[in-house]
Amino acid sequence: MWPRLYNLVALSCIFPRVLGAPRESASSFAGATSSDVFPPHGATVTQYETYFPDAEQVGFPGPTPTGAEPQAIATAPVAALNLAHYPVVVQTSQYSGAGSSFDPIYSWGNLGPWYSVGGAFGLPETSPQIPDGCDLEQVHLLFRHGARYPTAGEAPSVFAAALHAAADSTGWSASGPLEFLNTWTYKLGEEVLTPYGRSLPFNLGVAFRVKYGSLLNDFTSIPVFRTTSENRMVTSLSNFAVGFFGVPDYLTSYHEEIIIEANGYNNTLAPYETCTNANNDVGGNIGGYASGNWTQIYLNKTTERLQPYMSGFNLTADYVYAMQALCTYETVALGYSAFCGLFTEEEWRGFEYSIDLSFWYGQGPGSPNAAARGVGWAQELLARLTKTPITKFDTNINGTLDGNNITFPLDQPIFADATHDVVIANIVTALNFTTLAANGPLPWDRIPVGQTYHVQQIAPYTSNLVGQVLSCPASATNSTKEKYIRFLLNDGAVPLTGLAHCETPNKDGLCLYDNFVQGLKERIAEIDYDYDCFANYTIPVPDTIVDGRMPRA
């Protein structure tokens, strides 16, 4: 989600240009669109398929016995933490000094890759590894798609179009740190996964098999994994499955349930399609206003600093914001971006907070309908935990699919759902993970001390929320096993103290299973889906909402 681009001419497309045409200056093709197509036109893999028999036809496979399924989540000291972003490269040398180095990729909010966040949510004494003495019974995975190109109409393409239009009309030139713009072209696609983006869910699948593979032994049928119909969603689930099951086994190891993502279709993995107030002035735009207001503040001096290097083109805070966004998108698409080195650590932290504001008020605790959008998945979680079929369809649940025990099974040891960043923000709001919202409401004009709501820890590319159902000793002195549940968000244990009956803090993030189920039922009951999504209400000014629900008079 992006703040509104103020003072920009609305341009619906990027003007193409024949790069071989005469130019008046080097900058005349800057911002032009360039694209590549593979496979080449007319080339097909079936053209000479008789020359290339597959592995089954060739035979001679060699030994093929498999070993025991791994369960590193119970045995590995660090549980395969994700602490790197190979193979993309981000310039960091300029931020290194006497203190610790700064890596801007961890200030990109929902536009950077996921990483293990440690004790970010308030439980520094625990790790993803299953606590001593506990046995794993079931796991629930919700994950975001991999890194993508920008969505239609986002800031980067608008900036590129403005540069190109100005080059064609009045001409301009850049110097100093912006000199690269003279020959820069816009090389980004739209919405689908980048090559690096494909690797993220694949690697998540591999890691998930290493951590939780032993649960495959408890399946009695082929599992159902779910996603939505958008290209990047289907591709992300497929890449996860390739990592989890391997090639070619993934083709026969799971059922891929693709839920239509379009206006008018109920879908808990794309709930904004049926929540009217998520997309209108009643309750859907405040995040953009808050973020846009902050952008004008934190980039004011940055714009003044960069303008002397642009002759004939007027920079605005919105254009400079687009340049920060281009850094993120070019890095995950092309492996490196010259835009990244233009900004200071302080400016990157300002960028991070702009996204935090956008999500807080548009998708999270400060939204009047975020909990309503996430409540459908919470209902599905409850049904899966209790093995109780859903019979009441009064939210965004798809009754056709969820009302069928084939397309919505209740007895899987592993559940996996692929979704979007905003939906993960909706769902953690519906689940009332209050430690994430501890310092709200967020101010629009400054970064508050003790900020706790960081989108890069909540909904980056391939962000993953994992619910572990465990059997653990009742206490240090009582070895009798009891059933518990806990949630890891990007490997960070989340306190469940926002749910009734789970209020007592636990150092490992555990809550008694029965207590959690009762607390989840009560949380679901207090969310008024119809009112929050469809009523004509006015958001309080200032916005003091902190639980994703519209307050009642």
pLDDT tens, residue by residue, 89-119? 998 888 866 556 899 999 999 999 999 999 9
Q: What is the pLDDT of residue 79?
A: 61
Q: Is residue 8 part of a domain?
A: no
* Rounded mean pLDDT, 74-92: 81
pLDDT value at 64 more than 90? no
DSSP string, 126-163: --SSPPTT-EEEEEEEEEE---BPPPTT-HHHHHHHHH
Q: Is residue 272 part of a domain?
A: yes
Q: What is the pLDDT of residue 28?
A: 53
Structure token pair of residue 76: 């590995």
pTM (2 d.p.): 0.90
Q: What is the pLDDT of residue 22?
A: 36
**Which whole-number Å values give the CA distances from 112 to 350, 472, 530, in the listed order?**
15, 36, 34
pLDDT value at 123 more than 50? yes
DSSP state of 441: S
Q: Name which residue leads in pLDDT, 272 or 9.
A: 272
Q: What is the pLDDT of residue 19?
A: 28
Q: What is the pLDDT of residue 97?
A: 63
Q: What is the pLDDT of residue 140?
A: 98
pLDDT digit string, tens, across residues 9-31? 222 332 232 223 333 444 556 66
Q: What is the pLDDT of residue 210?
A: 95
* Rounded mean pLDDT, 341-364: 97
Q: Is residue 512 part of a domain?
A: yes
Q: What is the pLDDT of residue 10?
A: 28
Provide the mean pLDDT of the chain: 90
* Among 340, 347, 338, 345, CA closest to 304: 347
- Considering only 72-86, 281-295, 367-381, which range has the smallest mean pLDDT? 72-86
Q: What is the pLDDT of residue 295?
A: 98
pLDDT digit string, tens, across residues 131-190? 999 999 999 999 999 999 999 889 999 999 999 999 888 889 999 999 999 999 999 999
pLDDT value at 78 more than 80? no
* Rounded mean pLDDT, 470-480: 87
CA torsion sign for 134, 138, 139, 140 is negative
Count helices and strands (H / E) in the chain: 16, 10
Q: Is residue 16 part of a domain?
A: no
pLDDT digit string, tens, across residues 512-546? 999 999 999 999 999 999 999 999 999 988 899 99
Q: Is residue 439 part of a domain?
A: yes
Give the CATH number of the domain where residue 89 resides. 3.40.50.1240
Domain extent, residue 492, equals 77-149+192-532
Q: What distance in Å separates the CA atoms of residue 48 and residue 110, rounded to the nearest whole number? A: 43
Q: Which spans in 219-339 are helix H?
A: 231-245, 250-253, 286-298, 300-306, 317-334
* Beta carbons of 469 and 513 less than 8 angstroms apart: yes
pLDDT value at 3 more than 60? no
Burial of residue 237, with CB atoms counted within 10 A of its CB: 0-12 exposed, 13-18 middle, 19 or more buried = buried
Q: Is residue 44 part of a domain?
A: no
Q: What is the pLDDT of residue 73?
A: 84
Q: What is the pLDDT of residue 81?
A: 86
Burial of residue 45, with CB atoms counted within 10 A of its CB: 0-12 exposed, 13-18 middle, 19 or more buried = exposed
**Which whole-number Å values give the CA distances from 289 to 2, 91, 360, in the listed order?**
10, 31, 12
* Rounded mean pLDDT, 389-394: 96
Q: What is the pLDDT of residue 29?
A: 61
* Rounded mean pLDDT, 64-73: 77
* Among 367, 362, 356, 370, CA closest to 453: 356
Q: What is the pLDDT of residue 283?
A: 79
* Backbone φ/ψ region at 490: left (φ over 0), alpha (ψ -120 to 50), beta: left
Q: Is residue 120 part of a domain?
A: yes
Q: How many residues does the chain have?
A: 553
pLDDT value at 260 more than 60? yes
pLDDT digit string, tens, across residues 401-448? 999 999 999 999 999 999 999 999 999 999 999 999 999 999 999 999
* Rounded mean pLDDT, 287-302: 97
Q: What is the pLDDT of residue 281?
A: 85
pLDDT value at 43 more than 80? no
Structure token pair of residue 485: 């549940």
* Beta carbons of 69 and 413 less than 8 angstroms apart: no
Q: What is the pLDDT of residue 11?
A: 29
Q: What is the pLDDT of residue 100?
A: 60
Q: Is residue 26 part of a domain?
A: no
Q: What distance in Å separates the CA atoms of residue 439 and residue 445, rounded to the nearest whole number? A: 15
Q: What is the pLDDT of residue 1?
A: 41
Q: What domain count does the chain have?
A: 1
Is the previous residue joined to 128 through a cis bond, with omega within 30 degrees of 0? no
Q: What distance in Å separates the CA atoms of residue 408 and residue 404, rounded to the nearest whole number? A: 6
- Considering only 1-5, 153-157, 270-274, 420-424, which range has the smallest mean pLDDT? 1-5
Q: What is the pLDDT of residue 382?
A: 98
